Amino acid sequence: MAPTLVAHVVADAGAFLKKAPLQEIGSTIYTLKDVVDEIRDKPTRRSLAFLPYQLTFREPHPEHIRHGHPSGTRCRTLAHTDPERIRHVTEFSKKTGDYPSLSATDIKVLALTYQLELEHVGSKHLKKEPEVKVNVHSTQRHPETPVNVAGFFLPSREKKSSESVGVRQKFPDGDPFNSFQFWRPALPTVDKELLQLLDPLEVSDPKEMSSDSFNTFNSFQFWRPPLASIDSLMHLLVRNLDDVSSSDQRSDEDKENEPEEEEDDDEEDEEEEEEEGDGGWITPGNIKQVKMDSSDWTAPADVTVGCLTTDFAMQNVLIQIGLHVLSVNGMLIKQARNYILRCHACFKTTSNMSRLFCPHCGNRTLKKIAVTVSADGNTQMHFSKNPKVLNSKGLRHSLPMPQGGKHGNNPQLVEDQRFPQQRLSRKARQKTNVFDPDFVSGASPFSQNDIYSRAANLQIRDGQGGGGRRRANPNAAHKKFVKKN
């Protein structure tokens, strides 16, 4: 049976890097010019020059409709995508928590897939808002909190006064504080029955022990049996040799008397056993079926539009919107991955992925973790085993002194911290336009550029409002190896 081809397939950079057989997956292959520009390695770019299928380019903006492409690549350019699709995909990815992991090219690929789905299928099955699959409520006491630790008293909040009033501990006669029973229970008394069992036993006086008992105690035979003599060992050796020789003679006689038919039967039985043992092996013939059974893949039946990508963030957004996601081998991916933010200081969780500070304790200790939801609605958080997830990198330098003024540059320590507006100077905001009816000539009719103010030295441009640090942060994580063009 021939595999079912998807009518329209949008290919990401991962499809070309993995050398996916797109001609066997879809009928019409779409991609972006930015996707091809992302590919840097020479073998992949060389393979793009000789494709066995026609590659269709779609650009998201009108000014980028017709651009150059790799020489030799068969392609054609169609109408551009609607900017509304890009805006919708961007807002949707922010709600799912995958927006920080997506690049501008990834969002364009998502928008192109969304537009093709609207053109060829419709919008009835597409979702405007992501489903709230994760609803985690943190408990009052964390399960890792130690209970009944020596030296600590952890009382419960709810106490019943009726139980505490009128209850007094009765101590035995004597001074209870100085007695041994004050801080531990009393030792058990000797039972009478135990004494009765010990009465019949005769206890011998060590002074009355005979010389034979002393010799037995000091001898080597007291704690292990005596060693065998040389004569007994020789007798055992001769007996074993006789048994081995007789058994060898019997086996030789049996082999000579066996007919040839039994040998043929043994060979047939061995072949049948080998054939039965091959049932559990993975062979090139059943590798595709094994992958489908052991994963969340299915054959793409009745799929009109699909996106072939290897990016987990893109796959999550596509599946939650209602679009089809294809793997490199042409299978349909069904399950998505959800994420939440968990504070490793107070162990609270939140599903708002746009937060930087914990809504409960206010610290900047939120970490992104994966969550899976079962069929009955139970959630399971998956923590990373990598110890670098909670590393202290970026905290080795002390905080700088707070700066004041119109262009203060301070680190953000709390969520409601106020920042300067970083406005341009008055001289930089002046515009020289002699044709303006409100133009007022100054000392010079020529335009002037502000190069001496603090705003100019900080390279603040017009329309760059808002606070935050814009200079190099010594605590920020940097890439060690960056390839310079």
75 known ligand binder? no
Phi-psi region of 270 (alpha: psi -120 to 50; beta: other; left: phi over 0): alpha
Residue 185 has pLDDT above 50, yes or no: yes
Q: How confident is the model at residue 470 (pLDDT cuts 50, 70, 90)?
A: very low
> What's the Rg (C-alpha) of the chain?
41
pLDDT number for residue 174: 47
Task: Look up residue 291 and give its amino acid.
Answer: K
Residues of 1-39 as b/e, b for ≥16 C-beta within 10 angstroms? eeeeebebbbbbbbbbbeebebeebbebbbbbbbbbeeb
pLDDT tens sequence across 369-422 = 888 765 555 668 888 887 777 777 777 888 889 888 888 888 888 888 888 877
- Rounded to whole angstroms, the Cα distance separating 315 from 338 reads 11
Residue 87 or residue 357, greater confidence: 357
Q: What is the DSSP letter of 95?
A: H
Residue 13 and residue 95 in one domain:
yes
- Rounded to whole angstroms, the Cα distance separating 1 from 122 reads 29
Beta bridge partners of 9: 29, 306
Residue 362 and residue 421 in one domain:
no
Beta bridge partners of 324: 306
Q: What are the helix (H) ranges across 365-435?
A: 426-429
Q: How confident is the model at residue 215 (pLDDT cuts 50, 70, 90)?
A: low
- In the numeric block, the tokens 């939140």 are attached to 350
Residue 49 has pLDDT above 80, yes or no: yes
Residue 427 and residue 353 in one domain:
no
Task: Look up residue 7 and give its amino acid.
Answer: A
Residue 124 and residue 34 in one domain:
yes
Which sign, positive or negative, has the C-alpha torsion 313, 319, 322, 325?
A: positive
**Average pLDDT of the segment spanning 3-21:** 85
The answer as to whether 328 is a domain residue is: yes
Q: How many domains would you assign to the chain?
A: 3
Which sign, positive or negative, has the C-alpha torsion 135, 140, 146, 148?
A: negative
**Average pLDDT of the segment spanning 324-349:** 84
pLDDT tens sequence across 109-150 = 998 898 888 888 888 888 888 775 544 444 445 555 555 555
pLDDT number for residue 136: 45
Q: How confident is the model at residue 213 (pLDDT cuts 50, 70, 90)?
A: low
- Rounded to whole angstroms, the Cα distance separating 115 from 374 reads 31
Q: What is the DSSP letter of 274?
A: H
**Helix, strand, coil percent content, the chain, rounded in steps of 5:** 35, 10, 55
Residue 39 and residue 123 in one domain:
yes
Residue 39 and residue 10 in one domain:
yes
Q: How confident is the model at residue 166 (pLDDT cuts 50, 70, 90)?
A: very low
Beta bridge partners of 291: none
Residue 326 and residue 349 in one domain:
no
The answer as to whether 96 is a domain residue is: yes
Q: How confident is the model at residue 177 (pLDDT cuts 50, 70, 90)?
A: very low
The answer as to whether 350 is a domain residue is: yes
C-beta of residue 26 within 8 angstroms of C-beta of residue 9: yes
Residue 85 has pLDDT above 50, yes or no: yes
Residue 40 and residue 57 in one domain:
yes
| pLDDT cut 70: percent of the chain above it | 51
* 228, two tokens: 């065998």
pLDDT number for residue 343: 92
Residue 362 and residue 318 in one domain:
no
Residue 183 or residue 45, greater confidence: 45
The answer as to whether 146 is a domain residue is: no
358 known ligand binder? yes
Residue 456: domain span: 410-434+451-465
Residue 18 or residue 219, greater confidence: 18
Query: Three-state SS for 55?
Result: strand
pLDDT number for residue 358: 92
Residue 307 and residue 359 in one domain:
no
307 known ligand binder? no
pTM: 0.48
Report the mean per-residue pLDDT for the chain: 70
The answer as to whether 57 is a domain residue is: yes
Residue 163 has pLDDT above 70, yes or no: no
pLDDT tens sequence across 272-289 = 555 554 456 777 777 666
Pairing of strands 349-350, 338-343: antiparallel
Query: Three-state SS for 455?
Result: helix
- Rounded to whole angstroms, the Cα distance separating 434 from 302 reads 66
The answer as to whether 444 is a domain residue is: no
Beta bridge partners of 77: 57
Residue 162 has pLDDT above 70, yes or no: no
Residue 449 has pLDDT above 70, yes or no: yes
Of the residues 333, 350, 365, which one is the last residue of a structural domain? 333
- Rounded to whole angstroms, the Cα distance separating 9 from 12 reads 10
Residue 53 and residue 98 in one domain:
yes
The answer for residues whose C-beta is within 8 angstroms of residue 39's C-beta and 6 or more apart is 13, 16, 17, 45, 48
Q: What are the helix (H) ranges across 344-406?
A: none
